[in-house]
Amino acid sequence: FYNARFSYLHMKYLFFSWLAVFVGSWIVYVEYSSYTELCRGHDCKNSICDKYRKGVIDGSACSSLCEKGTLYLGKCFSSKPNSQVYSGSWGDLEGVIKCQMEEVPNYDLGAEMEPKKEAVAFNKPTKGTSVEKFKEMILGHLKAKVGDQANLPDLATVVLSIADANKDGHISLPEARSMWALLQLNEFLLALVLQDREHTPKLLGFCGDLYVVEKVPYSPLYGISLPWVIELWIPAGLRRSMDQWFTPSWPRKAKISIALLELVEDIFHGTFGSFLMCDVSATNFGYNDRHDLKVLDARYIVPEASFQEGMRERRCDVDEDCLYGVDCHTSCDLTKHRCTPEVTRPNLAKACSALKDYILRGAPSDMSEELEKQLYACIALKGSAEQMEIEHSLILNNLKTLLWKKISHTKDS
């Protein structure tokens, strides 16, 4: 009996040992496969440097990346294979390197962009194109993206000054090709539009459609990352509470929240047209040592004019077919089986949803009730901002004023 019991325990131990080894090996395999699929930065670098050496492209980061070796890729942060994101060091500068792995369409309203085999061709502008002709190309592209804005020539002039990477007063064909490729990216376009504000990280350099921006020290805005095995067992309410554990003091959170509200203000009827925020999640924002808000990932902050044009052409059977990104919804016109162009929820309502738990936690007791009331009024906003401009502006200003009055006398302001 003793031997039988020992044998049974021995077999049980062996079974669970092998099971643990199998499950562990499977997890390692899945993680490794995921990493190798997502993290292809060195392929991206090799492709860019090959084109640089052939004289196809040029830019302020090319020599450091491809010849001197002073700009190099660090840790991988990519969340999609076609958009490579790495930490990077460039001499004494700490930055973030972003590189596109597949062809970037002019505007793709698919919920997910399908990977494509062809790389960006870098064939525009063509040989013999004058600077004036290139400026016309830029103006035409900007007009298609953001609509016919009166001051687009000013933005085109900024683009040309950045394109002159070596600041010799002359834009070479390789420099022009790099800039044209960058202009196809929503994220790069937004950085140009918001260049005079502090919402986007500063551009440090570029080479082809690879570009380097300053590092944002604190990200995401809030939330903690847990292994997926643990995530499965945590109730949703507790998970939301855990996301707020390691956030700054309340006055500093108020300053960051005001900055997000100002970003909403800046991209709604801004200097160069309106933009829609189609993924307002904490992972897309961070902040620096002064607690200035920074946009980490602006791929889903898209020009409203381009969005509306794309939606008008999209076929649909139900409202759910009319979604771009995470939260840019329109409705389905069943008479035409086409999506309507107007979003059902403005940027401000999405921003308030993202801020609610963040700013209410730790809020001073003498204003928390009023703050909660205003946040819920903000979250309840429906329709496009144009349709309810007065109410939109009133709620935004009331929220900013409430927060600012509470922190204006503190050093955090």
Residue 57 is predicted with a pLDDT of 94
Question: What DSSP designation does 324 have?
Answer: E
SS3 at position 379: helix
Confidence band of 105 (pLDDT split at 50, 70, 90): very low
Same-domain pairing of 210 and 253:
no
Is there a domain that residue 114 lies in? yes
Residue 118 is predicted with a pLDDT of 42
CATH number at residue 283: 1.10.510
Residue 365 is predicted with a pLDDT of 94
Cis (ω within 30 of 0) for the bond into 105? no
SS3 at position 127: coil
Is there a domain that residue 59 lies in? yes
Contact status, residue 122 vs residue 57, Cβ threshold 8 Å: yes
Same-domain pairing of 255 and 339:
yes
Same-domain pairing of 295 and 347:
yes
Same-domain pairing of 136 and 56:
yes
Is there a domain that residue 348 lies in? yes
Say whether pLDDT at 185 is over 50. Answer: yes
Question: What is the pLDDT averaged over residues 257-279?
Answer: 89
Is there a domain that residue 127 lies in? yes
Same-domain pairing of 207 and 317:
no
Confidence band of 114 (pLDDT split at 50, 70, 90): very low
Same-domain pairing of 210 and 275:
no
Among 27-36, 40-49, 374-383, the minimum mean pLDDT is found in 27-36
Residue 32 is predicted with a pLDDT of 43
Among 104-108, 153-157, 391-395, the minimum mean pLDDT is found in 104-108
Full-model pTM: 0.82
What is the phi/psi pair of residue 32, to 5°?
-65, -45
Same-domain pairing of 189 and 269:
no
Contact status, residue 225 vs residue 246, Cβ threshold 8 Å: no
Question: What is the C-alpha separation between 167 and 188, in angstroms, rounded?
Answer: 20
Mean pLDDT of the chain, nearest integer: 85
Same-domain pairing of 199 and 336:
no
- The CA distances from residue 29 to 23, 24, 75, in Å, are 10, 9, 20
Structural domain including 171 reads: 40-214
Is there a domain that residue 233 lies in? no
Same-domain pairing of 258 and 404:
yes
Same-domain pairing of 255 and 377:
yes
Is there a domain that residue 194 lies in? yes
208: left (phi over 0), alpha (psi -120 to 50) or beta: left
Confidence band of 21 (pLDDT split at 50, 70, 90): low
Contact status, residue 274 vs residue 268, Cβ threshold 8 Å: yes
Q: Of 169, 192, 214, at which residue does a domain stop? A: 214
For 339-384, the pLDDT digits (tens) are: 999 999 999 999 999 999 999 999 999 999 999 999 999 999 987 6
Same-domain pairing of 282 and 210:
no
Residue 20 is predicted with a pLDDT of 66
Confidence band of 112 (pLDDT split at 50, 70, 90): very low
Question: What is the C-alpha separation between 408 and 413, in angstroms, rounded?
Answer: 5
Is there a domain that residue 45 lies in? yes
Q: Domains in the chain: how many in total? A: 2
Q: Of 165, 193, 214, at which residue does a domain stop? A: 214
Residues 4-18 as b or e (16 or more Cβ within 10 Å = b)? eeeeeeeeeeeeeee
By DSSP bridging, strand 338-339 and strand 332-333 are antiparallel
SS3 at position 3: helix
Is there a domain that residue 16 lies in? no
Neighbours of 329 (CB within 10 A): 16
Same-domain pairing of 72 and 201:
yes
Among 152-156, 237-241, 293-297, 352-356, the minimum mean pLDDT is found in 237-241
